[in-house]
Amino acid sequence: MSEKSLGFIGVGRMGGRLARRLINAGYQLTIFDTSDAVVQSFVDLGARRESSAAAAASACEIVITCLPTPQVVQKVALGSGGVGEGSRVKILVDMSTTGATYAKRIAEGLSAKGIVAADAPVSGGLAGAEKGTLAVMVSCNDEVLNRIQPILENFGKVFHVGRAPGMGQTMKLLNNLLSATAMAISSEAVVMGVKAGLDAQQIVDVINAGTGRNSATADKIPRCVIPRKFDTGFAIELLNKDVRLCLEEADALGVPMIVGTAVRQLLAITQASQGANADMTETVRLLEKWAGVEVGAKS
């Protein structure tokens, strides 16, 4: 079945890039966002504006959400004026990162209204959203997957990770835990190397040729830290939130997270020191301050 009319709620930094890809692919979007100025930029591209999530969900059978926090997603899905009050919507595809607990709660609440919820968080950053190279982690039944997969393929590679609500969210949290851990431990290693007199670029070059290679040494540190740009576009507050959600889910499952807990502590200290909107790569700034060196500075 071809789905060309879609609702889209939340067109911020990530959602906006996803929405733009859909418009460029020929989809007619009905958009709701709390920022009128942001919505206007999509209206200029041919999208329709609606005044509430419920209104957007009354215009289309499939609605996509991409929102910053689990609480906001729940409010938009189940609250007054939310998707659940839409008269036409049949499927809600949530591309936010909420954690399994919220995904299950939202799915249960929408099910009572005859709406199926699919969690489909993504990984790959703003650059991946721009290029359509994201990993899309979908949890839904096969019938829903058949309807939404052609839509999601506009964003990147689709992985059907499960059928029960929340399984996509769990997969996303595992990914972000590893991403945060790579950034944290790689920052410590590079700061130590610089303090010992090694060149920062050569440190990552050697690591990337050996067994220590990871997403931080291969991309984030050479691209964002050494040139002092700190511009991945992913705020420390959001990464801190994702790791916290992962630890909460792990606790509920009875799985110890010893290393994860240490990473969460570093993220919390970084957020307190650098501010909630600091880039996730700015974990290194805290370590630099403590060590009395600067990564990227030539010796």
Q: Please, what is the Cα angle at 47 between 7 and 117, to 5 degrees? A: 10
Catalytic residues: 172
